[in-house]
Structure 1
Amino acid sequence: MAEPTLDPQAVAKWCRTLQLDQSHCLGLSISTTILTHRQIYQIMDETLSDSRCFIRGLKQDQSGNTMRVLLELDCPVANVVVPSNLEVGNEKYKVEIVVPAEEQPIQLASQPSTQTTTTATIGPEFLNALGELVEKCAKSGHSTARYKRLPMFSGTQPLPSDEESFEAWMEQALQGLDEWEVSEALKRQRIAESLKGVAADTIRNLKLSKKDCTAHDYLEALQDVFGRTEGVSELLYQFEHTYQEKGEKLSLYIQRLDKILHQMRLKRGMDADSVDSVRVRQLLRGALPLDPVMLKLRSQGDCGTLRYNQLVKLVREEEAMLEEKGVSVKVPGTFSTKVQTVQACCAGEELAQLREQVSKLTELVTLVAGTQLQPDERAETVPSGTASQKERKRKDAIICYQCGGRGHVRRQCPSLETSKEVQTRKPPGNFRGPQ
């Protein structure tokens, strides 16, 4: 069965529970649960242009389809124009704005005759509110008695040795605001008494520029002055590009991711309900693929519902079990060392074989170079051989008219020289010669 719609009496009771002035408060009933604090502030800034509002409470109904928000304005609700219904976003989400009911004075009978008449006139709501007030007073006194002051923070650089960093101080302050069950004025006092120097000057300037500051306003101002300068988009990019390093345990990698998520929450860049799922999704994406703990987590199925403490506990248990078995949790571990040793041995054998092959190739090249002609001799021989062939062809084309042979002319003919020798030689005996 769904919860009843948000009515003025419920908003007024919510204000009394949080000890807020209901004349400065408004209630919102939104037909979705995916809106973040920043989107709610943007909607109210467009609706109430002359006033600032602060989220003091946020909860969902039992069905999980409606979000209820309690806002506190910096001026009375009667001084601003407030519409009763809105439609926001492209999906046209319906937003119902509810003004808390005014307090009705308790009217007692002028002459009550019996105790029953007086109780009936007061009503059960008054008795419930009185019981809640007594319980809060008891809790407030108990909390005040066990109160531990925050560490001092001055904002001085370099950081003094007796002070903590701003991130550590901010974490303790946020935890204190969630746990202190005291009035708003006492919360502001506890934060202010832990500040000095430049940090105290920041709060002093905030009070001068803004009236009716809250403890959350103090922390927002300090975050703007001393916090990290990255925007939400830069932090989201850094978060999505943060990967597990070689030799890093998975538990340490989760701690690094959580620090970036914490900064995104301080800058209102992420809803608290989606932090766990975003952390697990980046863990599955950014962890080393051969990490033994990550392999075990992937084999277990869906881990998106694990909270931070459950996730860290599961990872630490797996790491401790692997260490007991003698398996190194770091990547690369003992397994990688053995593989590298085998590769070194194989590389030595291959290197010896390569050296032997290179030496054989060197000998072969030397032998071939010795049998061939030098480049200069080769250059001289080739042209000379070509010229002799051309000269031989040219001589073959010449025909001797004396003997009919080839390769010489008549005046160089060998037969002509033979005939001359015969003519000059004396004839033997009775040779008369020609008549």
Structure 2
Amino acid sequence: MDLRSHPVLQAELGVWCGEELVDPSHAILLLGVPAEAEIEHIEATVETVKVLGRVRVRSTKPGPTQNTMSVLCECRENIDVTRLPTTLKPSGGDQTWEIVAGKRPDPTAFSTKLSDFLLSEGKSMSDLQSMFTSLSTSATSPESIIRAMGEVLEKSAKQSTDSSSYRRLRVFSGISPTPVGEETVEHWLEQAQLMISECECSEKEKRRRIMESLRGAAFEMIKAVRLSNPDASSKEYVDAIESAFGSSESGEDLYFAFRMLRQQTGELLSDFLRRMEMTLSQVVKRGGLAHSHMNRARVEQLIRGAVQSDIMLLQLRLRERKEDPPTFLTLLNEIREAEEIEAARHKIDASVKQVKFQSEGSTSPSVVQELKAEICELKARLGEVSKEPTLPTKLSEDKKKTLTKCSDNGGESEMQFLKQQVEQLQQQITVMKVGKSTENAPENVSVKSQSVMSRDDFFCYRCGEDGHLSAKCQAAENPSQVI
């Protein structure tokens, strides 16, 4: 008998697909499967039918005969009844498995559209019938029934939108340090708690999403929870992961760590604020601080810990706003705007101004004249020091040759020669002054005493006065004056 299109079995397949949230166009029902058959053996056997593609067993229930079971399988490929065999014989067995597939629905029929809608919302025809039964037993008007149907459809549409757009949880195994591609325990807990509170899918779907994201030790922890309590909720799963792999610090410890945060060298004020917010959220979550005090605590710690941004704190006037502190997003936006203005100002100040250099070989005549005038003045001073009536105005033969050579090489070399001559004349005047003072000094005075020294050059470390040394001091000691 061809069971692929049996009406009763097809109806059972449709109801079962609705309960397990499986698309009927990708599902088949196996009958006569031995009760002791392994899941891997069933999947491998069904995958021998190439038109089905990859196959996964979604649910099992006792079969119509003893020692058999019915198996619901989900296939990757669309079910084509014309290419699907009626029976399947596993390797190494004498029994034959019957295959039941859903009928091809008319896409234009109302019943087909209603079935597809209920399937997409995770509902079945039995749920719809029970709702109508409850409405009919109560004394309600047709208008109330229509209104209740509208509310159910609106809620179902919202559930469909939220469920389809939710991103899967990333993998977490509980291994430390966290391997590449996996999530840390803090980030995984945040995502899982957000999914539980915001996603309006069924409790069974929430547990499935949590379990499919766990590996290794974390998955073993959930298996232990299910063994001790098969009806555990998704929140109990997340609480078990947090107690096993999360931080054991109390709210008071986290609040103390929050108060010890400081801005690091080179760290932007906005980055420091975001780092503070991560710790502050953990403090509130653990009960270390009331949620209503978050804004004030955030501003106080920002003033206390931002040791590298005092000028920016003054610009934001946070000290004056402590009584009415801004929210996190408002404060972050203000800080980022101030940082952008500061960065633009530094960029303008750091712009390089072009300087026009004078080309080589083009020496200004006024500079040469100034150097020559300075040489004449130095020569006159040298004549006064040496007590000579006049200083020879002619240069030595070597200097004349050098000057002539420099003049031939250009104005730049001449200017360099004049500068050297000025330096030589200054050194000569200094030497002659020192020699003259040496000649006028007494013979018994040492060379060291010939240098001009004033009374201010001596200091007494006994009485603290200037003008003499402590070896010749007769006054009383005065340490405070010395200091």
Structure with higher Rg: it is: 1
Scaled by the length of structure 1, the TM-score of the pair is: 0.45
- Which one has more relative contact order, counting CA pairs under 8 Å at least 6 apart? 1
